[in-house]
Amino acid sequence: MPKEDKEHVSFFDGNMFLVPPDGWVNHSCDPNVRLADFCYFAERTIKKGEEITTDYRKESERGSR
């Protein structure tokens, strides 16, 4: 993993947390992450090389809670 990518990954209590720049997360109706407390959490296992996606409609409805 390139050094600049590691700036967006944090580890806590055996879990990996992703805090990517907004430009790294695309919309999908079948997302693999959700936004909560200003962090993205995986909804399922994300395969190496898989695009990171969220459902923008749901995020705006929840107000990123």
pTM listed for this prediction: 0.59
For residue 58, the surrounding DSSP H or E stretch is: helix 56-62
Confidence grade of residue 11 (pLDDT, cut at 50, 70, 90): confident
- The residue type at 62: R
Q: What are 29-63's pLDDT values in tens digits? A: 999 998 887 778 889 998 988 998 999 887 655 55
53 with 24: CB under 8 angstroms? no
